[in-house]
């Protein structure tokens, strides 16, 4: 039998093997380092892709916001133009309205002047106050209009109610305090405080006419009805005939 023994490696062979092994280890280390770099680059790439997508989403959101903002600004510009046009129209209206108010005030003053002379001081004072108001720069035009319309409403109400009041009566150069009775704008009467004289205003002559004593009691009763001191009832009083306009 023949036994074959492997040759024992020489020191040179061992060194060569060690170098080969070391080279293999280094190669594996390099490969691991390259893989690490590749993995790192892959993570960075994914991060950059995600950031890019996020930026795209933000850009899209900003684009939509800018579109909405542009639409809002366009709407506001249109509204601003409309308001400016309204202001111009309002200014034009103001320029036309103020002379119209002065004309209405003059008409009101004329009504008080030629109307039946009831509550003359009160009505003339109202006109004077309105005239003063129209000349005030610190009072807005709508307030002037409101006050003038209120005065016209008061004048209109005089034709639909009755009232009695005390006041001065000027007649034939003399002035005395009497009680007045106003039936709308149909009739204006007076009764002296002692109840011994009564009169009626005649528009045709623009003067007072003394009534017969037969009307004293009826007029006194009518005044008590107007003052709500007696229940409503029929009274007999002379009514001036209406005039043709």
User: What residues have CB less than 8 Å from 171, skipping those under 6 apart?
Assistant: 199, 207, 208
| pLDDT number for residue 239 | 84
Question: Residue 21 and residue 34: Cα distance in Å, rounded?
Answer: 20
Longest dimension (CA), the chain: 185
Both structure tokens of 36: 């690490």
Report the candidate in 232, 244, 168, 172 with the shortest Cα–Cα distance to residue 204. Answer: 244
| pLDDT number for residue 36 | 75
| pLDDT number for residue 177 | 95
40-64 pLDDT, tens digit each? 777 777 777 787 788 778 777 877 8
Strand ranges in 109-242 using DSSP code E only, listed in sequence order: 162-171, 174-183, 187-192, 198-202, 207-210
21-35 pLDDT, tens digit each? 777 767 777 766 767
Question: Which residues of the chain have a pLDDT value below 50?
Answer: 5, 245
Check: pTM over 0.75? Answer yes or no.
no
| pLDDT number for residue 117 | 93
| pLDDT number for residue 218 | 94
User: What residues have CB less than 8 Å from 159, skipping those under 6 apart?
Assistant: 184, 185
| pLDDT number for residue 245 | 45
Q: What residue spans define the domains of the chain? A: 162-240
Report the candidate in 175, 194, 197, 195 with the shortest Cα–Cα distance to residue 120. Answer: 175
């Amino acid at each position: 039998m023949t036994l074959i023994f492997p040759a024992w490696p020489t020191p040179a062979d061992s060194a060569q093997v060690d170098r080969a092994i070391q080279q293999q280890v280094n190669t594996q280390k390099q490969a691991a380092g390259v893989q690490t770099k590749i993995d790192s680059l892959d993570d960075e790439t994914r991060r950059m892709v995600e950031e890019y997508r996020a930026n795209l989403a933000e850009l899209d959101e900003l684009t939509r916001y800018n579109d909405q903002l542009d639409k809002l600004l366009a709407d506001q510009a249109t509204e601003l133009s409309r308001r400016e046009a309204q202001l111009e129209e309002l200014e034009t209206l103001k320029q036309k309205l103020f002379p119209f108010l002065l004309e209405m005030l003059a008409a009101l003053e004329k009504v008080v002047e030629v109307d039946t002379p009831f509550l003359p001081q009160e009505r003339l004072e109202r006109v004077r106050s309105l005239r003063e108001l129209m000349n005030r720069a610190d009072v807005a035009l709508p307030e002037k209009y409101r006050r003038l319309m209120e005065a016209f409403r008061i004048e209109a109400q005089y034709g639909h109610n009755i009232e009695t009041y005390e006041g001065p009566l000027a007649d034939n150069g003399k002035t005395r305090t009497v009680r007045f009775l106003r039936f709308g704008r149909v009739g204006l009467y007076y009764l002296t405080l002692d109840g011994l004289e009564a009169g009626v205003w005649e528009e045709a002559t623009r003067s007072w006419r003394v009534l017969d004593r037969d009307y004293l009691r009826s007029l006194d009763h009518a005044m008590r009805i107007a003052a709500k001191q007696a229940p409503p009832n029929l009274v007999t009083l002379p009514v001036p005939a209406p005039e043709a306009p």
